[in-house]
Amino acid sequence: MKQIITFFLLLGTSWVFGQSLQRDNLIGLHVMEVKLNEGVTMEEFQEFFVNHVIPEYEKHFMIKGHLVKSVRGEYKDKLGLIWVFATEPTRDYYFNEDGTPNEYELEGLAKAKPVEDELKRRFGSYVVDYKDDWVVQ
């Protein structure tokens, strides 16, 4: 019962998202290494990722995603992912106390798997280098 109440409280926090960052949002920053399939352009990969992969994750998680491209610095010309949760407890909803994925995380990943499989089959694969999580002050 406690988990159900917690879920609905956390779900409510996701409804207050606007287009800008707000205090207490948790931002996950991750760098991607993309390996394109033969004959596929990076633009095709990006288009599918933005229009299909990110919306699939947003459908199954209380999250907002953004694909970004670095224009200078250490990661110049690399793609990255920014995942925005309403709060740190919203992110924590998907993980056990030791940081491992819980049943909600695993369930969401399983639901997103078909679109991930389509991305790999048609466009290419990617590996994510998880950087730090940041909380907006």
Cβ partners under 8 Å of residue 103, min gap 6 = none
pLDDT tens, residue order, the chain (137 aa): 555 555 544 555 554 555 689 999 999 999 999 999 999 999 999 999 999 999 999 999 999 999 999 999 999 999 999 999 999 999 999 999 999 999 999 999 999 999 999 999 999 999 999 988 999 99
- Strands of 50-123 (E only): list them: 64-69, 79-85
- Predicted confidence at residue 13, as pLDDT, reads 52
Q: What angle do CA 95, 89, 15 make, to 5 degrees?
A: 115
Q: What is the pLDDT of residues 87-98, one digit of tens each?
A: 999 999 999 999
2-135 maps to CATH 2.40.360 = no
Query: Which DSSP letter does residue 37 get?
Result: P
Q: Which pLDDT belongs to residue 20?
A: 87
Domain boundaries, the chain: 2-135
Residue at token pair 């466009």: 123
